[in-house]
Amino acid sequence: MAVVYDVPATAFVVKAGQKLKESGKVQAPEWAADVKTGTHRQYPPIQQDWWYTRCASILRRIYIDGPVGVQRLRSLYGGKKNRGVKPDRHERGSGSIIRDALQQLEKAGFVKAVKGGRVVTPQGMAFLDRVATEMSAAAPAEKQATPEAQT
C-alpha cells in the first residue's frame, strides 16, 4: 500500500482534487470564480476546478506538516509580489480561501481541529492513502504500455 510520500506531489494533488469533486463532500463557493488567491496575484485562477485542487493541496500539506494553522498555510500559499521599481516582497495567500476550504474539509470529516492547528483524521488519511495507492498501481501499467519501456 502506497502513502502520500510515495507519489509525485503535483499529480497526486490533481488526482485527489478530482476525487474530492466526484465525492461531492467539497463544493466550490459561488464567489470562487471571481477571487484571486492572494494579493500577490494579478488575476484569478484560470482552471475551472481550482477550488478542488486547492482543497486537495491543503489536505496534503496538513497530512505532511502535522498540526498546522491558517497563518502557516497562508505563508505556504503566498508568493512574490511585484512592487514595480521597489524590490519584490513575499505576500501571504488568501486566508478566506484557506479557512473556507478547511471548514469544508472538517465538515467532510477529513480534518479536525486540535490545540496546535488542524490535523488529518483517520478518514482523511485513508482517503489520501487510497488515492496514492491507485496512482502507484496505475504507474507500472502505464510504464509497460509505453514503447520505451519494452526495449
Range of the domain at 88: 4-150
- pTM value is 0.86
101-131 core/surface letters (b: 16 or more CB in 10 A; e: else):
bbebbeebebbeeeeebbbbbeebbebbbeb
Provide DSSP, 51-86.
HHHHHHHHHHHHHHHSSB-HHHHHHHT-EEE--TTS
The DSSP symbol for 7 reads S
State how many domains the chain has. 1
Provide DSSP, 106-117.
HHHTSEEEETTE
How far apart, in whole angstroms, are the C-alpha atoms of residue 82 and residue 35?
19
pLDDT tens, 95-139? Answer: 899 999 999 999 999 999 999 899 999 999 999 999 999 888 886
What per-residue confidence (pLDDT) applies to 1?
79
pLDDT tens, 27-36? Answer: 988 888 888 8
How far apart, in whole angstroms, are the C-alpha atoms of residue 112 and residue 122?
10
pLDDT tens, 40-63? Answer: 888 888 888 899 999 999 999 999
pLDDT band (50, 70, 90) for residue 146: low
What per-residue confidence (pLDDT) applies to 32?
87
What per-residue confidence (pLDDT) applies to 5?
87
Give me the CATH number covering residue 131.
Answer: 1.10.10.10
Provide DSSP, 121-137.
-HHHHHHHHHHHHHHHH
pLDDT band (50, 70, 90) for residue 8: confident
**Stretch among 1-10, 20-29, 75-84, 103-112 having the lowest mean pLDDT:** 1-10
